[in-house]
Amino acid sequence: MTAVADAPLRVVIAEDAALFREGLVRLLSERGHRVCAAVADGQALLDAVAAHRPDVAVVDVRMPPTRTDEGLRAALELRRDHPGTGVLVLSQYVETRYAARLLEGNAAGVGYLLKDRVADVAEFADALARVAAGGTALDPEVVGQLLGASRNTDDLAALTPREREVLALMGEGRSNAGIAATLVVTTGVVEKHVASIFGKLRLPPAEGDNRRVLAVLRYLRS
Amino acid sequence: MARTGQVTPTTATPPRGRQPAALRAPFTRRARLELLFCLAAIPLGFCLLLVPYWVAGPALAVALLAPAYDSTWVAAAAAIPAILLLVVLATRIARRLGVVHRRLAARLLGERVPPPPPLRPGRGVAGRLAAGLGDGPGWRAVAYQLLKLPLAVVEAYAAFLWVAGLANLSYPFWWGLFRNHPPGVTLDPVPAALPFPGRLFPVATFAGTFAAFAAGAAMVLAAPWVTGAVVSADRRLLRRLLGPGRLAQRVRDLEQTRALAVDDAAARLRQVERDLHDGAQIRLATMAMQLGMAREKLDDEGDPEVRQARELVDEAHRAAKDALAELRDLVRGIHPPVLDNGLADALATLAAGGGIPVQLTCDLPRRPTPAIETIAYFCAAELLANAAKHSHATRVTVQVAERDGELVLAVGDDGAGGADPAAGSGLAGLAQRVRTVDGRLEVASPPGGPTTVTAVLPLRA
């Protein structure tokens, strides 16, 4: 896991609070990543990404001038114009609609985390690497909200509490190994749960983390 | 200087020029505008005199067309519908005239009197009659018209003082041009006006023109005072009788200040949220991040002091994250920032966060003001919490729509029902909150369910 986290990435940061921006730059630099640009608003972010073509962009939602969803709109634009660049959105709050908009159509190379999660440095670095590699990193709160917002509650009701936990972790973008580590069980147990979930949700078994997340999200949003 | 402040502003400020105010008064802009107002008042004031003809006209017509009967009785009988018609029309006509008076006063005197509340017309003959009879502001406008009649007489006199005074002043200047007749020729004396209307005095000689001049000077000097006094009385009547009335004005003022207070409160809470977001929350998040980085650097293998330090950092790290989460919950309770993006986005997160599946539809073609959005949001939050807590519902619907220019928020569940606003639940508090903007809360919750609580709010406070 550390090997993934420490593969050097080229990162662009967009965050209007200088304190937090500097902190992020320092955190990422210390872990061996290269911060190509650290900017403070949406337009600057778009310009920086166009100029540097980074592996991943870390984007704050509220930035000048509107200070509402400026960053989110920039992130959506990035996803449309630079599909090769992963977008990790950070915010003090996670909003269901924002998550739905970010994940619209495609969950590859996208992340949406609370700013709190940055405090767990290793996990944050892990999530960043996942997004840069085309994977997904969703905040547990986002997953909870998406599960809550889902209308297929009858199917969800068929899941055992443990299977819901596994589903939520899948939604966050974790691999079977990651889920096993979080739940303190063996990978084999997780694989069994995953197969059971796919069965109950009538999803065809698929290979690879990303397709798994895609499948889960598609199910959640249906 | 026995002038009141209302007649002229010069008493308030010491005169700037050399001449005393009495000499300057006739030449001020104010005097000119007040004269214009008096001139305009003459036709407006006297149009009331036409009213008896409206009543007498139809009656006379009937009397003339029915010579076979005793004309007095017929005229009396015909006068009754005419009077009824007058009752219906009087307030309406007076209101129309009131508009003209208010405009004139605003234009010429700078006296801005707000219009009274509009007439609510009734249906049918009886309804119209009742609306006319019960139209308080309309009758006050009628009273103004009646009082304007004597006032217009004085205003006409004031105008006369000006016009006749100016005419008198001119005598010595043209006398020589027209009266340079050879000696021995006797011409008729020219009449000059006195300050008493209808009274003239003859001017026969050039010396006599100075008497006319003196009378004119006195009249022109007196004119602004008379004008000012009568206009000031008119102003007072205007305010009292053509304005919205004290109670209506008070209601309007209170409505305005309440709306300001509600909007201000919402704006303040929003500012608090922004300050927290840009201040404490960012600092805490940065601190948590730095503690996380510090924690990584402290390898607890070996040195017990390092291990202790790591434990402390661990604790601080956890505490910072907890504080961050608490602060976030607190701010959500004050003003969820996503509300800036509209009710739909905010309600989506709210609906997803609860334990019960929520079906949300939000269709607002126009955005309400932030204060209304905030109230609607917290209503929905409270109702959803109620549904989760008390109703044992399995399904909740939240519908937001605009109907007849109002925002309608309906929260329904298929739970146990029996919600009673009187039973000390949160519903009473909610109803109060909604009432602060003239909204209302309707609760339909029969025992056994289903429950629907509807909050109706204006689009602006």
pLDDT score of A69 more than 50: yes
Which stretch of A16-30, A205-219, B387-401, B407-421 has the lowest confidence by average pLDDT?
A205-219
In chain A, which residues fall in CATH 1.10.10.10? 150-221
Which stretch of A28-42, A168-182, B113-127 has the lowest confidence by average pLDDT?
B113-127
Chain A interface includes B275 (CB < 8 A): no
Those residues with Cβ within 8 angstroms of residue B277's Cβ, 6 or more apart along the chain or in another chain:
A62, A92, B331, B337
Omega into A65 within 30° of 0, i.e. cis? Answer: yes
* In a domain? residue B26: yes
CA distance A74 to A71: 5
Chain A interface includes B458 (CB < 8 A): no
Same domain, B28 and B127: yes
pLDDT for the residue numbered A217: 67
CA distance A24 to A7: 17
Omega into B58 within 30° of 0, i.e. cis? Answer: no
Which range, B180-194, B196-210, B278-292, has the best average confidence (pLDDT)?
B278-292
Q: Which of residues 161-200 of A touch B (CB under 8 A)?
A: none
Chain A interface includes B330 (CB < 8 A): no
What is the DSSP track for A58-94? EEESS-TTT-SSHHHHHHHHHHHH-TTSEEEEEESS-
CA distance B345 to B343: 6
Residue B446, domain extent? 339-458
Please name every residue paired with B362 in a beta bridge, in sequence order, or none if there are none.
B400
pLDDT tens digits for range B103-162: 988 988 888 888 888 777 777 777 777 777 778 888 888 888 888 888 888 988 988 888
Chain A interface includes B328 (CB < 8 A): yes
Asked if the Cβ–Cβ distance from B292 to A151 is below 8 Å, we say no
Asked if the Cβ–Cβ distance from A92 to B328 is below 8 Å, we say yes
Neighbours of B395 (CB within 10 A): 15
Structure token pair of residue B342: 């509209």
pLDDT score of A75 more than 70: yes
* In a domain? residue B8: no
pLDDT score of B284 more than 90: yes
Say how many CA atoms lie within 13 Å of B36 toward its Cβ. Answer: 14
**Which amino acid does the sequence have at B263?**
D
Same domain, B352 and B307: no
pLDDT score of B84 more than 80: no
Q: Which of residues 353-382 of B touch A (CB under 8 A)?
A: 353-355, 357-359
pLDDT tens digits for range B349-389: 888 877 788 888 999 999 999 999 999 999 999 999 888 88
Same domain, B41 and B83: yes
Mean pLDDT of chain B: 83
Q: What total number of domains does chain B contain?
A: 3
Same domain, B315 and B365: no
Q: Using alpha carbons, select from B371, B398, B393 the residue that is nearest to residue B455.
A: B398
Q: Topology of A2-137 in CATH?
A: Rossmann fold (3.40.50)
Could you tell me where the beta strands, DSSP code E, fall in B233-388?
358-363
Same domain, B146 and B23: yes
Same domain, B276 and B290: yes
Run of H or E including A35: strand A34-39
Q: Using alpha carbons, select from A67, A76, A9, A8 the residue that is nearest to residue A41.
A: A67
Which of B305, B334, B363 terminates a domain? The answer is B334
Asked if the Cβ–Cβ distance from B296 to A24 is below 8 Å, we say no
* In a domain? residue B2: no
pLDDT tens digits for range B325-349: 999 999 988 999 999 889 999 998 8
Same domain, B354 and B324: no
Chain B interface includes A92 (CB < 8 A): yes
pLDDT for the residue numbered B412: 92
Between A and B, how many CB-CB pairs are < 8 A? 105
pLDDT score of B211 more than 60: yes
**Nearest-by-Cβ selection for A68 from B278, B296, B341:** B341
Same domain, B284 and B323: yes
How distant, in Å, are the alpha carbons of A134, B14, B15, B23, B430 from that of B18?
89, 11, 8, 10, 68
Same domain, B37 and B86: yes
pLDDT for the residue numbered B117: 80
Percent over 90 (pLDDT), chain A: 42
Run of H or E including B407: strand B406-413
CATH class of A150-221: mainly alpha
Strands A34-39 and A86-91, bridge-based pairing: unpaired
Structure token pair of residue B84: 């009824």
Same domain, B236 and B263: no
pLDDT score of B194 more than 60: yes
Which single residue is written with the structure tokens 């269901």?
A96
* In a domain? residue B1: no
CA distance A128 to A88: 7
* In a domain? residue B422: yes
**Nearest-by-Cβ selection for B338 from A93, A148, A151:** A93
pLDDT for the residue numbered B387: 86
Q: For this complex, say whether ipTM is above 0.90.
A: no
CA distance A26 to B109: 70
Which single residue is written with the structure tokens 């608003």?
A41
Same domain, B60 and B191: yes
In chain A, which residues fall in CATH 3.40.50.2300? 2-137
Same domain, B48 and B125: yes
Report how far Cα B308 is from the mean position of its chain's Cα atoms.
69
